[in-house]
Structure 1
Amino acid sequence: MRPAILFPLFRPLAGLPGLGAKLARLAERLAGPHAVDLLWHLPSGLIDRRFAPKIAEAPGGRIATLTVRVDGHAPPAAPRHPYKVRCTDETGVLELVYFHARGEWIQRQLPQGRTVVVSGRVEWFHDTLQMTHPDAVVPVEERAGIETVEPVYPMTAGLPAKTLRKAIRTVLDDLPDLAEWQDAAWLARQRWPAWRDAVRSAHTPTEEADLTPSAPARRRLAYDELLANQLALALVRLQQRRLSGRAVAGDGRLRARVAAALPFALTGAQQRALAEIDADMAADRRMLRLLQGDVGSGKTVVALMAMLNAVEAGHQAALMAPTEILARQHAETLAPLCWAAGVEIAVLTGREKGRARSRVLERAASGELPLVVGTHALFQEEVAFRDLALAVIDEQHRFGVHQRLQLSGKGRAVDVLVMTATPIPRTLTLTAYGDMEVSRLTEKPPGRQPVQTVTVALDRLEEVAAGIRRKVGEGARVYWVCPLVDESEQLDLAAATERHAYLRALFGDRVGLVHGKMKGTDKDAVMAAFAEGRLDVLVATTVIEVGVNVPEATVMVVEHAERFGLAQLHQLRGRVGRGDKPSTCLLLFDPHLTETARRRLKTLRETEDGFVIAEEDLRLRGAGELLGTRQSGLPEFRLADLAEHDDLLAAARDDARLIVERDADLQSPRGQALRTLLYLFERDAAARTLRSG
């Protein structure tokens, strides 16, 4: 249960002053559903209203706070003209300018003869100082209320900045006094403020330096968030270790048959990964291992060998993929190898219906079916296994930790192997997979061709199309990936449909289209037509990014490459170069490139090493966007910036390890405070693994 002291921070936004149901929805889209989310929504700028010159000394273009006397009103002479209010001090004249404003309202705000304080941006117009739509107008006796530094927050359309500031101030005024969870000596060494002071300080910057990741208040809060993350992972890992496992060790006969059927020998990296997996499975504690391998490094074969280890020992294994296309493709890749080993494999996705589905379910439940490949459908309640010993989860970043636990809950002491083809920088591996052991496949299987990467400006589209026509004439198959548009599937689809029509006009009806809005069966039919050579060109949104395998495809065109993340471009490039012919990746870019986009494209031209690319991507974009997908399953940090705070991540990891060694159930006074920290950062699942106390 969440501690009562945190209840005020987890009240819904609609309960805060100024935020009714409608504005609360906008604030929720901006920050999150609870009051605490506003605390993590830190200012990105500031407006300094402390500058208070006389009228004659006010420089144009600056925010100024002026004390003036209201001399007279000049209502607009025509409907489109502005309403002007003439004000003075002993040094000159200031005109306040209002467009589309109601005269009575202005007269109430600024009665003639009154001395007022006005604040806003000033400009000189001819010889007169003007302030258009002042930000603040108050009687002179309330001057102290505006002569301050005002935080500027990232905003969303329709939510007034003043309303958001007021809601945040309310939450800051009600901050509970929480017991300190940081180690006292470490806190003193860092010279950080207490938690409550740090939050208030982060929301009341007085100079630009207070807005940087290195400001003491921001570093303290970033460390709190990283410690919550690392402690949660350490507790989940400990929980996994405490759960009794079981030793699973096959005799190698099925794996020997697969090895004999493979057209190539396993690489050194594959053999090392398999040795680590075998050792984990043979131990009597549960395996939780991440298999990281670049596109085309042969993860699927490693996964099959691990699954066969379970089958040899008389158990079952399941492989789960994030999409139907990928699940079916895994099944197709594995089927001939399973056939060689004499082991049956079946597919279970949302599309299997009726008798076929019932048959798979019956045979999985009876234990007659040793291997099942599927999508999220494997989580469903009616799916049962007689004796599931190994769960393999592909493209882990598309699934959360809870889904991982759900699948492993389908059997007794299930070992879990998680795979990703998205190379993840070391820092992110710690934050997302700190609860796992890691194996890396760093070599490509023999026979893989390098991919030549070329960048071309979009204004040369016709030349590119002519080059593609030549390639298709020589028998090549081509992927053409359309741009990401504003993260909107509707617009992505429009861009893809338009490009499909353009290419059909050039190449006739041997051009297909796949996108995320299509039915699974229709998508598969188009993919099959492309794989079998009935289509020459496949136009796609990024649905083809993960795992699609057509060895005959040798050209990848990515339109508006500057809109994609580095890791995502690397994934797309990995769709070609899978056969024995040389392959090309054309990155079409908008000539008006930002410096970051230019560096991104240069990195891709220079290297095919996914791990080098991932580290550079982290540097260029920060962790939040790293995988190019919002649903990346990587923890979204609100306060920590992994590129700036990686030293804090290492410290948080060490601290979490020590805490778990000394006080695994968090019963000491510091342990109790750390429980509050876990709930504060909504790591409730980890908090629940603790024995209640």
Structure 2
Amino acid sequence: MTELSQVPVTALKGVGEAMAEKLAKVGLENLQDVLFHLPLRYQDRTRVVPIGHLRPGQDAVVEGTVSGADVVMGKRRSLVVRLQDGTGGLSLRFYHFSNAQKEGLKRGTRVRCYGEARPGASGLEIYHPEYRAITGDEPPPVDTTLTPIYPLTEGLTQQRLRQLCMQTLTMLGPSSLPDWLPQELARDYQLAPLADAIRYLHHPPADADVDELALGHHWAQHRLAFEELLTHQLSQQRLRESMRSLRAPAMPKATRLPAQYLANLGFAPTGAQQRVGNEIAYDLSQKEPMLRLIQGDVGAGKTVVAALAALQALEAGY
């Protein structure tokens, strides 16, 4: 099977040139990019909450029968739909609506919707909910996984991106997304296979720990974070190894100029300054390039250490 990094997004059903340009704006050019375009957060649409149990600020799926719908003329013209389910009632408020939308929400229509319940003038309200009319005797099944919320760009909707991610996940196999971690390393650190972590993060089960996911503490997130950190460290190691193959002028440890500088400094260097200064002096005396970062608080004396290094170069004739 071809690696997903080699398959362009145009291989997905419904992705033409225009959609590919929109996807490119969020960095999605191939199917591997789509897999690693992870959700920012999740919504729980796995159960229907009785209206009477809703709390202000709660995001929930509710289901009920329309008891009335009116166009209210206030500061902003809005369509207010009143919904009842036997345990209580709430209002659905739409500031942007069409006549067809109004006709589809007539009295007696059964509706399932999702949104945030907010306090209103006459009870709880949901502004611009996602909704669908229920036809037939059997209500549609609820979602079996948490609903992912992805980073978007103009012209790209959550529903469209979810569909594309679902298509891509069906192509995910052992050879389509290589897992470079050695098995013994994954076993020692109790890390799941990469494909399992990716699948989980796009579609967590209904009983997933939402708090852990929100904090980035979930095992699936740890799996990806471990690989990212390991890759970064390996790239740094390769950089250091490549630098060791380069040559640099060896500068003998200086004595005359540093002694004059310290005599006029007005204070004695701290133990930490002396230690770091000696380490840098040793590095400068070698035939390989030095790769160092001096780190310290403001006023810790980093400039003194840098000056000693400069004097070593000066005394060596540079």
Same fold (TM over 0.5): yes
CA offsets 1:295-326 (integer angstroms, 9 cap, x no match): 23333333233233233333x3xxxxxxxxxx
* Deviation of 1:68 (Å): 4.6
| 1:47 corresponds to which of 35, 43, 50 | 43
* Deviation of 1:282 (Å): 2.1
1:569-588 to structure 2, matched below 5 A, reads none
* Deviation of 1:150 (Å): 1.7
| Equivalence for 2:235 | 232
**Count of aligned residue pairs for this structure pair:** 303
| Equivalence for 2:178 | 179
Does 2:313 match 1:310? Answer: yes
CA contact (8 A) 2:49 2:62 kept: yes
1:431-580 to structure 2, matched below 5 A, reads none
1:360-439 to structure 2, matched below 5 A, reads none
More helix by share: 1
Does 2:204 match 1:208? Answer: no
CA contact (8 A) 2:59 2:116 kept: yes
**1:215/1:198 Cα in 2 relative to 1: closer, same or farther (>3 Å)?**
same
Root-mean-square deviation (Å): 4.4
**1:133/1:311 Cα in 2 relative to 1: closer, same or farther (>3 Å)?**
closer
| Equivalence for 1:135 | 130
* Deviation of 1:230 (Å): 0.9
Which has the larger displacement, 183-192 or 228-237? 183-192
Distance 1:95 1:313 in 2: 81
Determine what percentage of the aligned residue pairs are the same residue. 33
Distance 2:270 2:54 in 1: 69
Q: TM-score if structure 1 supplies the norm length?
A: 0.36
Secondary structure in 2 matching 1:289: coil
**Aligned amino acid, residue 233 of structure 2:** Q
Secondary structure in 1 matching 2:140: helix
Distance 2:72 2:121 in 1: 20
* Deviation of 1:50 (Å): 2.2
Distance 1:259 1:53 in 2: 75
Does 2:274 match 1:271? Answer: yes
Distance 2:273 2:122 in 1: 77
1:11-160 to structure 2, matched below 5 A, reads 28=26, 42-53=38-49, 58-61=53-56, 62-68=58-64, 74-76=69-71, 78=73, 80-85=76-81, 96-107=92-103, 109-110=104-105, 115-121=110-116, 131-137=126-132, 139-140=134-135, 143-144=140-141, 146=143, 148-153=145-150
Distance 2:305 2:96 in 1: 69
Secondary structure in 2 matching 1:290: coil
Distance 1:179 1:245 in 2: 39
Secondary structure in 2 matching 1:105: helix
| Equivalence for 2:194 | 195
CA contact (8 A) 2:41 2:149 kept: yes
- Structure 2: runs of 5+ lacking an equivalent: none
CA contact (8 A) 1:44 1:153 kept: yes
- Structure 1: runs of 5+ lacking an equivalent: 317-693
Q: Which has the higher contact order (CA 8 A, sep 6+)?
A: 2
Distance 1:116 1:252 in 2: 85
